[in-house]
């Protein structure tokens, strides 16, 4: 199942860092997201855009995970010549990540 069936995203960018939040539609899906959305999987899925470390922050109270992607925006949105390297593009790409079914 693709992530977009379980959650939506919000994003932001500052300088060369992108910030992606993944918010479960249903709070009951949060444990599944926390299990399968690791910093390593997010970095691998968004390669080659993410050149630096990925930090994951759990927010169980609101059913969300926050990822900070360092060295990702090719110097920053206003400095990059790349087509649309913004956080919103990365958050849309993240929604195509496959999340295993919990059976």
- Enumerate the domain spans of the chain: 3-94
- Phi, psi (rounded to 5 degrees) for 16: -100, 15
Please state the pTM of the whole predicted model.
Answer: 0.87
CATH of 3-94 given 2.60.120, 2.40.10, 3.40.50, 3.30.70: 3.30.70
Mean pLDDT, rounded, for 9-30: 92
Rama region for 33: left / alpha / beta (φ>0; ψ in -120 to 50; rest): alpha
Gap between the Cα atoms of 71 and 57, Å rounded: 18
Q: What is the pLDDT of residues 60-93, one digit of tens each?
A: 999 999 999 998 876 655 555 554 456 668 888 9
């Amino acid at each position: 199942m693709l992530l977009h069936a379980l959650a939506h995203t919000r994003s932001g960018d500052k300088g060369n860092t992108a910030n992606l939040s993944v918010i479960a539609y249903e709070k009951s899906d949060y444990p599944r997201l926390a299990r399968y959305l690791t910093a390593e999987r997010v970095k691998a899925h968004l390669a080659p855009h993410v050149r630096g470390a990925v930090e994951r922050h759990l927010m169980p109270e609101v059913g969300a995970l926050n990822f900070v992607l360092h060295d990702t925006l090719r110097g920053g949105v206003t400095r990059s010549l790349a087509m649309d390297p913004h956080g919103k593009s990365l958050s849309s790409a993240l929604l195509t990540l496959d999340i295993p079914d919990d059976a």
